[in-house]
Amino acid sequence: MSDQDPILSIKRKRGFATMDPDMVRELARRGGVAAHRAGTAHEFSREEARAAGRKGGLAAPAGPTLTGGDEAGMALDGHLVRKLPM
């Protein structure tokens, strides 16, 4: 017999996860409208948007790491190294 009660181990949805996606979208829309009316909504300037795009382009690519991948083909900074034929 298991130590855990199977009824208690079932993961139940809570909050927005229980709602219809269209209802969640409508609530988000209303919140955005209210924030704009109140003057508390943030609007990106051209420079902020450009900086955010630059940061996204500089993000580390997903892939193997020194601790979890093939160390033989990895550089010290975690990037793959291609071995050229001699």
Q: What is the pLDDT of residues 32-49, one digit of tens each?
A: 999 999 999 988 899 999
CB 83 within 8 A of CB 75: no
Q: What is the CA radius of gyration of the chain?
A: 24
- Stated pTM of the model: 0.43
> Is residue 10 over pLDDT 60?
yes
Q: Which domain holds residue 52?
A: 17-73
Q: Rounded CA gap, 18 and 22, in Å?
A: 12
Count the helices and strands in the chain (H runs, E runs): 2, 0
How many domains does the chain divide into? Answer: 1
Mean pLDDT of the chain: 77
Residue 22 falls within a domain, yes or no?
yes
Q: Which residues contact 86 (CB under 8 A, 6 or more apart)?
A: none
Question: According to the model, what pLDDT value does residue 79 have?
Answer: 60
Residue 9 falls within a domain, yes or no?
no
Residue 5 falls within a domain, yes or no?
no
Residue 82 falls within a domain, yes or no?
no
Residue 79 falls within a domain, yes or no?
no
